[in-house]
Amino acid sequence: MIWKALERYRDHGLLVLRVGFGLGFIWYHGWGKITGGPERWAALGGSMEYLGITFAPVFWGLMASMAETVGALCIVLGLFFRPAALVLAFVMVMATVNHHVTGQGTPAHSFKNIWLFVGLMAIGPGRFSLDHIRERRRAAKHGADSTAPSADPEVGARP
């Protein structure tokens, strides 16, 4: 019975999850990499060789650093949420592979993060997100009835 009563706080829970996890991800993973410079980016981007991509390791490392910083910020804000979660899941796949192949560190943390990002991608950002606000504005601009079904289950689902 208490679990059913907590259902009305789903969007609050998603907000707490997004902000806490996203800020932690920026702090512990993204910021140090993005400020690490070209040497750090080249080391990160070297992981792409496991996919047969051996050119431009600095570029790939910068992209991974950007994903872990800007992508995590998108998670916090709920802006471009699903694409950001998808990109971060891919970065975590590469981190997991790198840990397995090199034996440096443990792949456990990045492996768990893959599934978190995939789950978040499926759930969506919730009502307290910029994506939700953008979708509501888009629907209002196009004269869509707020009670009509939307392609996004978050829009119009709850008041």
pLDDT confidence of residue 3: 85
Q: Is 67 exposed, middle or buried (0-12, 13-18, 19+ CB in 10 A)?
A: buried
Q: Tell whether 153 is covered by a domain.
A: no
More confident residue, 1 or 52: 52
Q: Tell whether 4 is covered by a domain.
A: no
Reported as a pLDDT band with limits 50, 70 and 90, residue 147 is low
Q: Is 36 exposed, middle or buried (0-12, 13-18, 19+ CB in 10 A)?
A: middle
The count of structural domains within the chain is 1
> What's the whole-number mean pLDDT along residues 82-86?
97
Q: Tell whether 56 is covered by a domain.
A: yes
Q: Tell whether 59 is covered by a domain.
A: yes
Q: Tell whether 19 is covered by a domain.
A: yes
Share of the chain above pLDDT 70, in %: 90
> What's the whole-number mean pLDDT along residues 52-56?
93
Terminal CA-to-CA distance of the chain, rounded, Å? 22
> What's the whole-number mean pLDDT along residues 28-36?
95
Reported as a pLDDT band with limits 50, 70 and 90, residue 1 is confident
Reported as a pLDDT band with limits 50, 70 and 90, residue 10 is very high
Q: Tell whether 94 is covered by a domain.
A: yes
pLDDT confidence of residue 5: 85
pLDDT confidence of residue 156: 47
Q: Tell whether 25 is covered by a domain.
A: yes
Domain extent for 116: 11-141
> What's the whole-number mean pLDDT along residues 137-150?
71
More confident residue, 6 or 12: 12
Q: Tell whether 2 is covered by a domain.
A: no
- CA–CA gap between residue 51 and residue 108 (Å, rounded): 20
Reported as a pLDDT band with limits 50, 70 and 90, residue 121 is very high
pTM metric for this prediction: 0.84
